[in-house]
Amino acid sequence: MSITVLVVDDSAFMRQLIKKILETDPEIKVVGVASNGEDALKKVDFYNPQVITLDLEMPQMDGLTCLKRLMMEDPRPVVIISSWAKEGAEETLKALELGAVDFITKPGITSPEDFWELKDEIIQKVKNASLAHPERANVITQKKSSTQIIKVRKAASAHLKTNNPKVVCIGASTGGPRALQYILTHLPADFPLPILIAQHMPEDFIGIFAARLNNLVPIEIKVAEEGDLLVPGRVLIAPSALQTSLVKKGNEVQIKLTKESTIYRPSIDHLFFSVGKVFKGDAISVLLTGMGADGAKGLKELRSLGARTIAEAEETCVIYGMPRVAVEMEAVEYIYPLDRIPGLLCSLVNQGTISS
């Protein structure tokens, strides 16, 4: 069965080009095209597409306005394809916060041949988006989660568990920007531990992402740099195109950046393994929404060392990929919906155990 797609772009040339590219894959069928946000909303009702590709800069109704309406009225996966996505990085991140699943930039496109170079990326991101559930993000804003809160069976190494966590590390991918914003804005200003984050994101966007969060959260947030110290109440976000590790020097723990080549840079697994080497079981680790399996092995290692491990519940995951793999590997101690994770973090920090 084909993945049905609506292509939205104010350029007739781009609409047809994106349509041609997508339909080179036999698993994708473009059911319609739209020239602006207003047109798109009407055609969503008519064609009921599984996925929408959306330009940001359009007349009459721009992409962000269209996206906001769509997510309120009829949520479905949206992939941003816009030349403005790179130049207007803040608008792109706003689109992710509003519920877009992913984005593709098309800067400097001067010919069809240039755009055809993005063919594989466009097709793969549309296919990935077809597996997403953006409506789950609305659970935390429209009503309280109804999902059960699960404490899974104890790890074999439960005797190693500590009541003295010294760091929180969080990994996220697709759907992560919105989830991370929720967690960080619901932590107290005096949260007592350093927080490390690995979020899959292109290099040109990670700094703007950190700056946006820093304006929303009462604790310091910055992109990690070589030699940065882990300080209570500071959030360090792993930079893109590099791997983030930790090194202990005396009583201090510092950031170490390397260019080790793996599928993901930053790699959540790489960060989690490094946290385990330095802090052993004195850590709390969280794996949020995302495609694939990055972070699951690292979470498993942390749990074996006695660290507390948390996975986002399927009910609120935009894509229940990484957490699902971690649960299947028995790497997870707590399975919580997103809206309950900030409270769990505070509970584990303050008591070393979950509040009933």
Q: What are phi and psi of 327, to 5 degrees?
A: -65, -45
Confidence of residue 353 (pLDDT cuts 50, 70, 90): very low
Q: Which amino acid is at 67?
A: L
**Rounded-to-integer distance, Cα 340 and Cα 235, Å:** 20
Percent of the chain with pLDDT over 90: 76
Quick: pLDDT tens for 19-47.
999 999 999 999 999 999 999 999 999 99
Question: What residues does 52 pair with on adjacent strands?
Answer: 6, 78
Q: Is 294 a catalytic residue?
A: yes
3-132 and 140-351 share one fold: yes
Kindly name the residue from 9, 10, 294, 339 that is annotated as catalytic.
Answer: 294
Pick the CATH number of 3-132 from 3.40.50.2300, 3.40.50.800, 3.40.50.1820, 3.40.50.720: 3.40.50.2300
Is residue 58 within 8 A of residue 37, CB to CB? The reply is: yes
Helix 63-73 and helix 37-47, axial crossing angle in degrees, nearest 10? 30
Residues 65-116: tens digit of each pLDDT:
999 999 999 999 999 998 766 667 888 999 999 999 999 876 566 567 778 8
Q: Which two tokens stand for residue 208?
A: 């703007």
Instruction: Please identify which of the residues 200, 245, 274, 339 carries the catalytic annotation.
Output: 200
What length does the chain have?
Answer: 356
Instruction: Tell me the DSSP string of 5-58.
Output: EEEE-S-HHHHHHHHHHHTTSTTEEEEEEESSHHHHHHHHHHH--SEEEE-SS-
Query: How many Å apart are CA 244 and CA 316, to the nearest integer?
Result: 27
Domain ranges of the chain: 3-132, 140-351
pLDDT bin (cut points 50, 70, 90) of residue 354 is very low
Q: Which of 35, 82, 130, 173 is catalytic?
A: 173
CATH class of residue range 140-351: alpha beta
What are 157's two structure tokens? 């190494």
State if pTM tops 0.95.
no
